[in-house]
Amino acid sequence: MIHPETGAVLSRRRRFKTVEYMGLKRLIEIEAFWPDDDGDGVLVGGDHAPMDEALDEMKAEHAKRIRALSVKIRKAARLTQKEASLLLTGSPNSFSKYERGEAQPSWPTFLLLKLLASDPSLIDKIKAA
């Protein structure tokens, strides 16, 4: 097979690639059409299945982490779901959704949650702002 963009000759083989999602990483093996160098390959049919599986696992793990992190921060600050939501996201129901696994915070909100988990006293600074 010839790569449609680079013109490189591709052959069927396996390679290890890292898949990333929200700070999580998985090293997976992908069988596809690859060039001899470290260039991009071409995936056909079910070649993408290992990536999809890794991504699904990481999404589930991230959702679990968010649920636990949200509860931990909120309880440490002695806030209701609504109070935490309004204070930290501006939306009245975000913590309720995070804790039930119905929604995921944006990347900046996720980073804020991680920061607050490492230093809960920052909540007082946010309240005072």
Output phi, psi for 89, to 5 deg. Answer: -130, -20
pLDDT band at 56 (very low <50, low <70, confident <90, very high): very high
Q: Output the pLDDT for position 38.
A: 85
Mean pLDDT of 50-66: 94
Task: Please state, in angstroms and rounded to a whole number, the distance separating the CA atoms of residues 86 and 74.
Answer: 12
Mean pLDDT of 59-77: 91
Over 90: is that where the pLDDT of 13 sits? Answer: yes
Tens of pLDDT, residues 72-118: 998 988 899 999 999 999 999 999 999 998 998 998 998 999 999 99
pTM of the shown model: 0.76
The boundaries of the domain holding residue 20 are 1-129
Q: Output the pLDDT for position 4.
A: 92
Over 90: is that where the pLDDT of 127 sits? Answer: no
Structure tokens at 109: 């909100």
Mean pLDDT of 67-71: 93
Total structural domains within the chain: 1
**109: CATH:** 1.10.260.40
The torsion of the CA quartet 84, 88, 91, 94, rounded to 10 degrees, works out to -60
